[in-house]
Structure 1
């Protein structure tokens, strides 16, 4: 656990009895915003593509093999990030989201830092991620944290692939 500006980063589910609502609420906001940015506005969770709806409805099952990190302000979840288990020495960051009311407080960098430390302890030699080209702030954050643009492993248009050697 880390603490920065009153924000703690914890692994979920952990020993503390955190509600399922926090991760689901953050993932809902992440997916609805992403769909809107792609020009595919949906009214709610029921209209999300099935794979994203599954993450929102049961994050514990959707990420059973992954590490889910939450940023907490008091007992409220204000940020999340998923780190996949390493495969062939590569782990992947996914679903980085900070509640808009808590942006600019170091939540995202705290989550990424905690994920990188966990990946390194777990033996990952490389951590990779993909981010939409229009998310310039996220790309700048990743670059500040040592990620560089890499060859794409995902051919979706406007998706930027990045990685960091540990």
Structure 2
């Protein structure tokens, strides 16, 4: 049985010492799953590319100019999302991940909603994101939340680029 406690979304790092680990474990799960989906499965974090390992080992440095949102169930981090600092009136949503045991509860929608609210607070006009084309559920979520597919700004094959006005 999964935990049915209320989930709250906070900016990381937060005030709770028990949530100090914040997004590290979630980012590890995200990157390990993504590498497996790309056909490049690795056994553990040590096998990830340096740039992804750096996010996991020190998210505070990796996302120093960004806002990291964490969904908490009690003191347990169950979801995360990164909103980059604005450039030219745009921010980007990255690393949306919900612990599989907590999916289906609106956590991802809540994280994206909090990201959009943050973007509006800081005067961003557009939020964009990229998602692997095989993540049909994520694409459907983004479409339900008003994102539309736009021409790609990233040369990686199989990446879908989306954006929406704030």
Question: Common fold, TM-score beyond 0.5?
Answer: yes
Partner of residue 72, structure 1: 72
Mapping of 1:1-166 within 5 angstroms?
A: 6-166=6-166
C-alpha RMSD of the superposition: 1.0
Q: Which runs of 5+ in 1 are unaligned?
A: none
How many matched pairs?
162
Looking at structure 1, the residues matched to 80 and 68 of structure 2 have their Cα atoms a distance apart, in angstroms, of 7
Cα distance in 1 for residues equivalent to 2:42 and 2:20 = 23
CA deviation profile, 1:19-41 (whole Å, cap 9, x unmatched): 44331100000000000000001
Indicate the SS of the match to 1:129: strand
TM-superposed CA distance for 1:18, in Å, is 4.5
1:105-156 deviation per Cα after TM superposition (whole angstroms, max 9, x unaligned): 0000000000000011111100000000000000000000000000100010
Is the contact made by 2:12 and 2:22 (CA closer than 8 Å) also made in structure 1?
Answer: no
Q: TM-score, normalised by structure 1?
A: 0.95
Structure 1 segments, 4+ long, off by >6 Å, are: none
Using the alignment, how far apart are the partners of 2:14 and 2:32 within structure 1?
A: 27
The answer to whether the Cα contact below 8 Å between 2:13 and 2:22 also exists between their aligned partners in 1 is: no
Partners of 2:126 and 2:18 in 1: how far apart?
30
Measured in 2, the distance between the counterparts of 1:115 and 1:34 equals 22
For structure 2, list consecutive stretches of 5 or more residues without a partner in the other structure. Answer: none
Equivalents in 2 of 1:124, 1:26: separation in Å?
A: 26
